[in-house]
Amino acid sequence: DPDYFPASYDNVLSVTIVDRQDQVPYYATLGRPIDIAAPGIQLLSTRSTNDNAYLPATGTSFSAPVVAGCAALVRKQFPAYTALQIAEQLRMTADDISQIPANQNKKEKIGRGRVNLFRALTETNVVSVRNTHNIFTNGAFNTSSLAYGGDTLQITATFKNILTPVSNLQITLTCSSPYVTILQDNFSVGALGTLATATNAAAPFSVYISPEIPQNEVLEFRYSFSGNNYQDYQYFTMQANPDFVIINVNDLQVTVTSRGNIGYDGLDYTQGEGVVFQNNNSLTAEGGLMVGTAPERVSDNIRNETGESDNDFFALQPVRKEGKPEFGDMSASGVMQDFFQDATAAGVRVTHRAYAWQ
């Protein structure tokens, strides 16, 4: 199930649709980022045909306003709550609808359940622990949520209790992929107060990525939370064996790709981190290698006059981090080639390497 934005951003309450029997229709948006469900089928709404026109309408565009109205009432009931606390109060007091037969194959893809305004207004001992940040490291280097076959990753996680205090809090990490082995899966937090945070920096989660993992595999991890009278979960993803490498040493972070692009893998800005100095915004949107042997024989993978990528290069050996760099503290290398038989190609094979020093 694809993630839809802006609903899937952090700190956004993502809403899907149910009918009057709490059944999720076939056309509903599903996914791990969904937080809550609300009625959205045949709801009475105004129409523009005249000043007094009302007609029933259907869609998540009508479910989201239901939750927004509930949020306004919860804000009135709990005026000291922050916006995030209101969102979590609604999410954690929703009624579980995953056991309804029509919903059983959608478990944990429709949020915590259908919004229940009465519970949200009256329950005062609600707990909600959220994972707010993860740092992935392989040895001395921050991997920026990317993993490669053979890696052993340490995951230093930060968790925050949004609502009322919880005791005996345990957090467990799991992964459904057969290519992942969890080496350290538990973080015993104990007590955590309202708006307090906890980190497992002293004993990070640890995972091993099999060398047999396919290229560009997306790994789905799950945190399960348990405490006194409290159960919850949260997912995050990690891209494994991508055909790009993020060089992240000192103040400079650069994405090196397998087909000559720099900063991002082609025109997809989700594939890479750009060229970043001192953790600011990327200094480049697009860039890459161009090789020409004549005015009419030029090879590159950058944007052309039609707005698409030329795609002249393909990877013979995808770029990979080198375990023991010949130079520097971190390096990556790969081999790419253009289409020799193409009359407009430069006719080259390129071995490329990137080096960084701490």
Q: What is the pLDDT of residues 33-57, one digit of tens each?
A: 999 999 999 998 888 887 778 888 8
pLDDT for residue 267 is more than 70: yes
Cα distance between residue 211 and residue 148, in whole Å: 8
According to the model, what pLDDT value does residue 143 have?
55
In the chain, list all ranges with CATH 2.60.40.10: 129-240
Q: Sorting pLDDT into bands at 50, 70 and 90, what band is 139? A: low
In this structure, what token pair is assigned to residue 117? 């305004």
**Which range (17-26, 77-86, 138-147, 237-246) has the least confidence?**
138-147
User: In the predicted model, what is the mean pLDDT of residues 102-119?
Assistant: 96
CATH homologous superfamily of 15-122: Peptidase S8/S53 domain (3.40.50.200)
- The more confidently predicted of residues 324 and 139 is 324
Question: Are the C-beta atoms of 270 and 242 separated by less than 8 Å?
Answer: no
Pick the CATH number of 129-240 from 2.20.25.10, 3.40.50.200, 2.60.40.10, 1.25.40.420: 2.60.40.10
pLDDT at residue 113 in the model: 97
Q: What is the pLDDT of residue 3?
A: 83
Q: Tell me the whole-structure pTM to 2 decimals.
A: 0.81
Where do you find CATH 3.40.50.200 in the chain? 15-122
SS3 string of the chain? Answer: CCCCCCCCCCCCCCEEEECCCCCCCCCCCCCCCCCEEEECCCEEEECCCCCCCEEEECCHHHHHHHHHHHHHHHHHHCCCCCHHHHHHHHHHCCECCCCCHHHHHHCCCCCCCECCHHHHHHCCCCCCEEEEEEEEEECCEECCCEECCCCEEEEEEEEEECCCCEEEEEEEEEECCCCEEEEECEEEEEEECCCCEEECCCCCEEEEECCCCCCCEEEEEEEEEEECCEEEEEEEEEEECCCEEEEEECCEEEEEECCCEECCCCCCCCCCCCEEECCCCCCCCCCECEEEEECCEEEECCECCCCCECCCEEEEEEEEECCCCCCCCEEEEEEEEECCCCCCCCCCEEEEEEEECC
Average pLDDT, the chain: 92
Q: Which of 148-162, 190-204, 259-273 has the lowest mean pLDDT?
A: 259-273
Residue 26 CA to residue 41 CA, distance in Å, equals 12
pLDDT attached to residue 236? 95
